[in-house]
Structure 1
Amino acid sequence: LLVEKGAAYYCFCEKTESEEDSGNFDRAADPCRALSQEEIDANLLAGMPYVIRQRIPQEGTTTFHDVSFGDITVENKTLDDQVLLKRDGLPTYNFANVVDDHLMGITHVVRGSEYLSSAPKYNLLYEAFGWEIPTYVHCSPVMRDQHNKMSKRHGDPSYEDLIAQGYLTPAVLNYVALLGWAPKGERSEQEVFSLEELVDAFDIAGISKSPAIFDIEKLTYFNALYLRAMAPEDFAKIAEPYIRQAVKNPAVDPAAVAALLQARCERLTDIPEKVDFFDALPEYDVSLFTNKKSKTDAEVSRNMLEAAVPALEALESWTQDSVHDCLIGLAESLGVKNATLMWPVRIAAAGKQVTPGGAVEICHILGREETLRRLRLGLGKL
């Protein structure tokens, strides 16, 4: 049909298959554009191999409209006579996608801005067939930095990689939706969107012409927001497998550990290293007991633990409230600030300078026997 309309022509020139696929051809050097019907028939009768090329007008311009970039006009002389059908009779992508989109009733073609240069040739095909031209939406690429596109080959993460790295699907969706697109109107300042809100707020006009830069720190920020907004029981459920990677002791309640983590967790994969001390007391240096802000040094810490061990031993029940009241009351009776007592207790119980949760929560989760064992070990260090 395109050949009959003069929108395509038989090309019998010797070309490599790769050139056929890419469509690169200098029309000025192609004598097949000017072949008479008699010459074409003779070549076909002789069984000469051929491709079908699109006949691009040699003069004038072609204009197409893109939602993001507006009207774009190109000179036809800059376009190549791309291959539509290869020698084996199979269509090239650039031909097949036009036919396929039309047959499927595609109304909007959304693709990367690197395909802007192909749109004029597609338009000429639609016009030659007499088909309605779809709405074009060319999106700028997501970049690793100012100069390089994201690439799996160069180590940039896929969606599956991000999930494996401890990011939540809703957080990834929320962040990626805001790459190269911005909400308008009353939602213009909004950052956090549910999927339903994104659907409601989305407008093609909000797509940016400028490339967006993928910022893993910004995604981590979004992920932390989503983790902290979860219902505690939901967070405990998704956190449990990560807690159990580090805490094998069945006596440790993962839900209690999760309660400490939720406000302090940015990625699920951060969890194991934050809670491994619940399973086994790590080796630590006695210098951790010295803290200027808490007004503790080795001597002060030894005095605090010497007082804390018998006070905790005497507790009738081991609950978070009873441990809290015991330690707060002990600090008051010793005439010291709470932090002066809590710092050495926490260091002895956890063996880490930074922990999710304070001394009271950690002691409660460890239980009476393990807490007292660790406090005695700390006292021995001092």
Structure 2
Amino acid sequence: MSNIRVRFPPSPTGFCHVGTARMAVLNYLFARKHGGTIVFRSEDTDKERSSPEFEEDILDSLKWLGLSWDEFYRQSERTEIYRAALRTLIDEGKAYVSEEESKKEAGVKVRIIRLKNPGTKITFTDIIRGDITFDTTELKDFAIARSDVDPLYHLAVVVDDADMKITHVIRGEDHISNTPRQILIQEALGYPRPVYAHYPLHLSADRSKLSKRTGDVAVRSYREKGYLGDALLNYIAVLGWTPPSEREILSLDEMIAEFELKDLHKSGAVFDLEKLRWYNREYLLQKTDEEFAVYALPILEDALKERGVAWDSAMGQNILHIIRERISVGDDIKNFAAEGEFDFFFADPLLDSTRIPQKGVGATDTTRHLEAVRQLLGDLAESAYRDAETIKGAVWDYATAEGRGAVLWPLRYALTGKDKSPDPFVVAHIIGKEVTLRRIDSALKNLANV
């Protein structure tokens, strides 16, 4: 293929959602695969709903996903081109002005421009679906402009595609019904017909059309939740497309190398939020320690400050490996922090004396075990706390002899104030000798009051 030209044609009437992103991804992969040109066309003819804010969001969201384009246009800046096309159609008797009652204001007459529909059968070849035939008679004479300075969607799209020399129109299957109208306008104006490819839409878990409730939310929402742009891009790309290599994780360049429109599935794929979380986790695991710190620490710091927990950047660095093991997306850090899962690394826990002993073990025996553990851990040099296994080794024989639960439960609770937490030896390693011994002393003091 040569001189391939495709378009990203979003309407800036809302934030960039997953459906818009997928349209852009598939067009991008196809164009870059064949050395083609990508045209970004902001279809802002809906004056009431379009806004610069939404346009900027779409541009920013697609850039965040790693996409780019070669040319940029706004339909609102191309009115004269549409007027010329309308004059041609009217002058040649292929369209006419119709005075009709307004659909918005009863009793008010408006002048609509309608295309004279020849009522022919139209067949076009879709790369994904094969030949599709429509009897256009049922479309009647459809409106193409509200006035000679206010074109409707179908006319503006057709004129733009021709003027911008678009060769391939790649879009969702919900646009199939638009195609016969657009072909009729193309034929009336003598424009060449582009190649069409209508891909299936993403589906929710119950196989209904994807909605905001089931995943078709704004890309910015995923970004705010801590998803990575390359992870979301990867998932959107392979959802409904099986690369020849059958790999799930691919870089953008790898996707370009493998992509072919004919490999897109003919039925809709289910948008699975859990699968997206899996993708994001895979991309997080690929990050270096430094990259992960840049990603995770600001989220953790903000979340702890919201709880009134004093921030310690060194401690934040120390627990990054624990965070990396537990999360799939940035919001997980916020949620764990909101539940107090990290508090004990930054501040001594408030202990409930009744929860210090393991169930079935009395306060007297628990006190004896904690005193023994304190002695064993107190005998360790400060340098021994650099290794969790060394700390474990100091306590393990005693815990095995006396009953691991009876010994390690109160140690865990003393250090964390939690019934469930990371390994107590790991916690001791992270918080250090001084804090470890201080917390054991606090637990013993609490037990003395039981």
TM-score, normalized by the shorter chain, greater than 0.5: yes
Q: Which moved more, 1:96-105 or 1:338-347?
A: 338-347
- 1:270 corresponds in structure 2 to 332
Q: Give the whole-Å Cα distance in 1 for the aligned partners of 2:241 and 2:436.
A: 52
User: Which structure would you say has the larger Rg?
Assistant: 1
Shift of 1:349: 0.8
Counterpart amino acid of residue 317 in structure 1: E
Shift of 1:79: 1.9
Structure 1 residues 270 and 336, CA gap change in structure 2 (3 angstroms): farther
Q: Of 414, 435, 438, which residue of structure 2 is paired with 1:348?
A: 414
- 1:2 corresponds in structure 2 to 89
Structure 1 residues 108 and 309, CA gap change in structure 2 (3 angstroms): same
8 Å contact from structure 1 (residues 68, 137) kept in 2:
yes
Shift of 1:137: 1.9
8 Å contact from structure 1 (residues 227, 266) kept in 2:
yes
Q: Of 183, 189, 199, which residue of structure 2 is paired with 1:123?
A: 183
Q: Give the whole-Å Cα distance in 1 for the aligned partners of 2:260 and 2:403.
A: 55
Residues 22-33 of structure 1: matches in 2 within 5 Å?
none
8 Å contact from structure 1 (residues 290, 298) kept in 2:
no
Counterpart amino acid of residue 329 in structure 2: R
Counterpart amino acid of residue 313 in structure 1: G
Structure 1 residues 12 and 261, CA gap change in structure 2 (3 angstroms): closer
Shift of 1:267: 1.9
Residues 201-212 of structure 1: matches in 2 within 5 Å?
201-212=258-269
- 1:53 corresponds in structure 2 to 114
Shift of 1:50: 4.2
8 Å contact from structure 1 (residues 331, 337) kept in 2:
no
Q: Give the whole-Å Cα distance in 2 for the aligned partners of 1:163 and 1:288.
A: 41
Give deviations 1:255-304, integer Å, cap 9, x for gaps: 21102221222222222423222123444554475389xxx886665443
8 Å contact from structure 2 (residues 382, 433) kept in 1:
no
SS state of the match for residue 212, structure 1?
A: coil
Q: Which moved more, 1:339-348 or 1:146-155?
A: 146-155
1:181 aligns with 2:241: yes
Q: Give the whole-Å Cα distance in 2 for the aligned partners of 1:318 and 1:348.
A: 22
8 Å contact from structure 1 (residues 236, 259) kept in 2:
no
1:165 aligns with 2:232: no
TM-score (ref. length: structure 2): 0.68
| Gap runs ≥5 in structure 1 | 20-47
- 1:361 corresponds in structure 2 to 426
SS state of the match for residue 106, structure 1?
A: coil
Give deviations 1:80-136, integer Å, cap 9, x for gaps: 322123235321111011101111121221222111111012112222322221121
Residues 320-359 of structure 1: matches in 2 within 5 Å?
320-321=385-386, 324-333=389-398, 335-336=400-401, 340=405, 341-355=407-421, 357-359=422-424
- 1:290 corresponds in structure 2 to 358
Q: Give the whole-Å Cα distance in 1 for the aligned partners of 2:289 and 2:388.
A: 23
Shift of 1:18: 5.9
SS state of the match for residue 62, structure 1?
A: strand
Q: What RMSD over aligned residues (CA atoms) do the two structures have, in Å?
A: 3.1
- 1:379 corresponds in structure 2 to 444
Residues 16-27 of structure 1: matches in 2 within 5 Å?
16=102
| Gap runs ≥5 in structure 2 | 1-87
- 2:290 corresponds in structure 1 to 233
8 Å contact from structure 1 (residues 312, 323) kept in 2:
no
8 Å contact from structure 2 (residues 207, 270) kept in 1:
no
8 Å contact from structure 1 (residues 64, 71) kept in 2:
yes
8 Å contact from structure 1 (residues 63, 74) kept in 2:
yes
- 1:14 corresponds in structure 2 to 100
Q: Of 65, 85, 92, which residue of structure 1 is paired with 2:152?
A: 92
Counterpart amino acid of residue 118 in structure 2: P
1:63 aligns with 2:123: yes
1:279 aligns with 2:336: no
TM-score (ref. length: structure 1): 0.79
Structure 1 residues 76 and 269, CA gap change in structure 2 (3 angstroms): closer
- 1:256 corresponds in structure 2 to 318
8 Å contact from structure 1 (residues 328, 338) kept in 2:
no
8 Å contact from structure 1 (residues 288, 353) kept in 2:
no
Shift of 1:143: 3.0
Give deviations 1:312-371, integer Å, cap 9, x for gaps: 22333245445632431332256539954544322221122333x422221122122222
Q: Give the whole-Å Cα distance in 1 for the aligned partners of 2:115 and 2:212.
A: 34
Shift of 1:141: 2.4
SS state of the match for residue 137, structure 1?
A: strand
8 Å contact from structure 2 (residues 356, 443) kept in 1:
no
Structure 1 residues 321 and 12, CA gap change in structure 2 (3 angstroms): closer
Q: Give the whole-Å Cα distance in 2 for the aligned partners of 1:265 and 1:282.
A: 23
SS state of the match for residue 123, structure 1?
A: helix
Q: Give the whole-Å Cα distance in 2 for the aligned partners of 1:165 and 1:235.
A: 16
Residues 121-160 of structure 1: matches in 2 within 5 Å?
121-146=181-206, 148-152=208-212, 157-160=217-220
- 1:242 corresponds in structure 2 to 299
Give deviations 1:151-204, integer Å, cap 9, x for gaps: 448885321111211222222112122222222x3x12x111222222222221
Counterpart amino acid of residue 2 in structure 1: L
8 Å contact from structure 1 (residues 63, 72) kept in 2:
yes
8 Å contact from structure 1 (residues 5, 128) kept in 2:
no
Structure 1 residues 80 and 259, CA gap change in structure 2 (3 angstroms): same
Structure 1 residues 103 and 216, CA gap change in structure 2 (3 angstroms): same
Structure 1 residues 136 and 256, CA gap change in structure 2 (3 angstroms): same
Q: Give the whole-Å Cα distance in 1 for the aligned partners of 2:429 and 2:232.
A: 35
Size of the alignment, in residue pairs? Answer: 345
